[in-house]
Amino acid sequence: GQQLNQSPQSMFIQEGEDVSMNCTSSSIFNTWLWYKQDPGEGPVLLIALYKAGELTSNGRLTAQFGITRKDSFLNISASIPSDVGIYFCAGRGINTGTASKLTFGTGTRLQVTL
């Protein structure tokens, strides 16, 4: 089945630093989504991408849909303590009977120190 690998698995950064994380797939996706999950809560949608090469921002967050359609990137600028959490990428495949099924990555745990 489809697999999504996220890197890094975890990262410690200082407040104010920029953060980059990425997600790679073994197959092509036609949609990429980025979610953030706080402890004890469900994932919350941050950014949705629908076209190869698309670059979309949401405040301090910017995500890109890779040209190969097998990867996506998330950047967070000027991190703040509330950015702490687990970031998941999710992809939706094409040309399958369950085309709408989302496959989630393994997550990147972000910790921000003052």
Partner 1 sequence: EAGVAQSPRYKIIEKRQSVAFWCNPISGHATLYWYQQILGQGPKLLIQFQNNGVVDDSQLPKDRFSAERLKGVDSTLKIQPAKLEDSAVYLCASSSALQGYNEKLFFGSGTQLSVL
Which is nearest to 31 in space by CA: 41, 23, 19? 23
Cβ proximity to partner 1: between 78 and 99 the closer is 99
What the block records as the tokens of 29 is: 């996706």
Cβ proximity to partner 1: between 55 and 78 the closer is 55
Counting residues that bind partner 1 (by CB under 8 A) gives 24
Chain centre to alpha carbon of residue 108: 8
**CB burial readout 71-82, b (16+ within 10 A) else e:** bbbbbbeebeee
111/85 Cα distance (integer angstroms): 7
Handedness of CA 52, 55, 57, 63 (dihedral sign): positive
Shortest Å distance, C-beta 114 to partner 1: 26
Restricting to residues 28-87, which ones interact with partner 1 according to CB under 8 A?
A: 30-31, 33, 40-45, 48, 50
Cβ proximity to partner 1: between 18 and 101 the closer is 101
Cβ proximity to partner 1: between 13 and 86 the closer is 86
Task: Pick from 69, 92, 110, 112 the residue near partner 1 by CB under 8 A.
Answer: 92
Under the rule (CB under 8 A), what is the footprint of partner 1?
Answer: 4, 30-31, 33, 40-45, 48, 50, 88, 90, 92, 98-102, 104-107
